[in-house]
Chains A and B, each alone.
Chain A
Amino acid sequence: MTTLVAAVLVLGVGTFAFRYAGPALRERMTLPPRVERLLGMSTIVLLAALVATSTMLDGREFDSVARPAGVVVGAVLAWRRAPFVVVVLAAAGTAAVLRLLGVP
């Protein structure tokens, strides 16, 4: 538990430093557009990778069919701009029904 609290605090302090840096430094320097683009893209790539690994694996193992199926249903709905709540409920509902039918 101590490790987890420490990890949250480090993440919090680091995030605050990032947020504070812009207002504090902007009168003395500017960011090149290329850096801005790089940072924006990195965020999306990291999150997309997290989506993929948390969909397909539990730890190091490909363990489930119901979960990826649920996520695909959610993805299709999200792509078609369905409301957020619908996306979440459809993804969870699909996985739940498949498991009820005995799919792992």
Chain B
Amino acid sequence: MCVADGVVGLSFGAITVGEGLPVWLPMLLSVVVFAGAAQFMFVGLVASGGNPVAAVLAGLLVNLRHVVFGFTVGDVVGRGWQRAAGSHVMVDESVAFALAQPDGERRRAAYWGCGVLVFVCWNVGVLAGAFLGTAVSDPAALGLDAAFPAVLLALVLPALRDRSTAQAAAVGVVVALATAPFLQAGLPVLLALSGVVVALARPEPVAA
């Protein structure tokens, strides 16, 4: 899994620089924000000429899920200064790993071990990718612009196998594409949230 994160990080670094953004940006994001999906969101919107405010807003919305994570695994994060460090390594992987362990002590070990390892792999991958990206002279000729959405799609696809999430996403995609020619980049993606409203307006599936 660490290798997988490293490869995603490598793609993130290379693609960000390939989009014409400065080489320090992917590295700063990866240390300070340390959340893959939000970083892709931020870079995607900034690279397409979007307002940085919209990019920050979209990134924050993507990261809201960490509030839920914190309530779920808060007991293994620790207290005092440990809580600060432990919170920063709260990512999808460390939370999933912790939840897969039955008891408190093993849970704590899994959370911290996985979190720190992912932090290291992710940042090493991004660092390598960013420098690799500077060596590419014509990113479009290599199809790097197609790699960006493909990477993201591969990351969200498992969640789209859930039917109501897929319906919400479909509505959101249509709204975003329909409004994109008329609005500043970034806003259409935020408007896609209307898809969630549509999904919630439908009656809850009745449990058998």
Contact = CB atoms under 8 A, between A and B. Distances in A.
Interface of A: 1, 3-12, 14-16, 18-26, 30-31, 35-36, 38-62, 64, 66-67, 69-71, 74-75, 78-79, 84-85, 87-88, 90-97, 99-100
A25 B75 CA distance: 11
B68 A14 contact: no
Given A18-B70, A20-B83, A46-B62, A8 B32 contact: yes
B128 to A, nearest CB: 14
A9 B56 CA distance: 9
Contacts of B40: 47, 50
Contacts of A71: 146, 149-150, 153
B165 interface: yes
Interface in B119-146: 140-146
A91 B147 contact: yes
Contact of A46 (B46, B183, B189): B189
A75 to B, nearest CB: 5
Closest 10 A/B residue pairs (Cβ)? A22-B70, A70-B146, A95-B143, A74-B150, A49-B192, A91-B150, A12-B32, A92-B143, A95-B146, A96-B143
A87 B74 CA distance: 35
Interface of B: 4, 7-8, 11, 22, 25, 28-29, 32-35, 37-38, 40-42, 44-46, 48-49, 52-53, 55-56, 58-75, 77-78, 83-84, 86-88, 90, 140-157, 159-160, 164-165, 168-169, 172-173, 175-177, 180-183, 185, 188-190, 192-193, 195-196, 199-200
13 contacts: A11-B42, A19-B70, A24-B74, A39-B65, A46-B62, A48-B156, A48-B173, A49-B188, A51-B152, A66-B146, A88-B147, A99-B141, A99-B143
